[in-house]
Structure 1
Amino acid sequence: MDDSTTTGDFADLLEANRRYAATADVAGFDGIARAGVAMVTCMDSRIDPLAMLGLSHGDAKILRTPGGHVTPDTVVGCVLGVHLLGVQRIMVVPHTRCAMASGTDEEILDRVRQASGLEPEGFVPGADPDQLGRLRADLQLLREHPLLAGRATVAGFLYDVDSGLLTEVA
């Protein structure tokens, strides 16, 4: 596929963006998290991070990863959020019925092999069937990080994709 011809594949999204931009009130924001919140959550499309907390545009920093796991990039985002962008509270929010909690890395890699017909060499998905254990480890990593410890409140929650409710777990 010629990269210069991909715009047609996104025409519906570009048209929706033009409609959004015509009425969106996005000018003038400074990038500070107005509610002082950063959230690490899953990339799952059933999660609407701002809406589920009653927040809106400009209120929070949202960092999304498969499984809502804390990765090196999310640590960077949290550190920058705390020191430069007004973040005072960090939420880590995995969710129910998550594919990344449904098996081990090897099981997820088997699914990738079957779907692609390729060997995913060097690819580490970060799956963990002990979802709550992983959440506690992620929270410990953030709470003990020298650039975050004592500078932000860190808590873990489980989002129920069927009810829309958050439960604090750690």
Structure 2
Amino acid sequence: MKSYVSEMGVGDLFFQQMMNTDPAALIRYRNDEFKTLFPGTDPVYDEERIAYVARVYGLTTSEARRREQQSLELCTGSWDSFGSFQEWIDCGDAIHWGLSKPLLLERRDKATKACSFSEKQTFNDQDRATFDKTRLPLAWDLPFVRRHNDCVRGVMVGGP
């Protein structure tokens, strides 16, 4: 049980409290009380995620972190403050790609046509099913995901 709790990224404090609490004295956490037992982020997952972001955008991990922080600062507020969810996504993507919004939209349209299975699907049905069955971050390394990301990156940085 201890190794499972550790693998899930939950601190030892939670394990100790779970094992040392009498079943008749169960604790019900309210509001933010549980945050003392659980980390806000999983550092291992965060490292894997930022490495993936860096690979997708063709950046070093330090540059990916810098651009992610910049997008958090500049694309602030809820998505509805941008007028639409897509505008909020565009704000972060423009920063990550290092492009103006008009150039981002132009190249994204080219990448969608050049790199996707169809206009409405990134992957074919079989690849999509494989992706959906594969847990993250392992799904990021599937060969067809890497091919797609390589194609998109080529277009976004000025390729065909």
TM-score category of the 2 structures, normalised to the smaller one:
under 0.3
Whichever structure has more helix as a proportion of its residues is: 2
Using structure 2 for the length normalisation, give the TM-score: 0.25
Larger relative contact order (C-alpha < 8 A, sep ≥ 6)? 1
Structure of higher CA gyration radius: 2
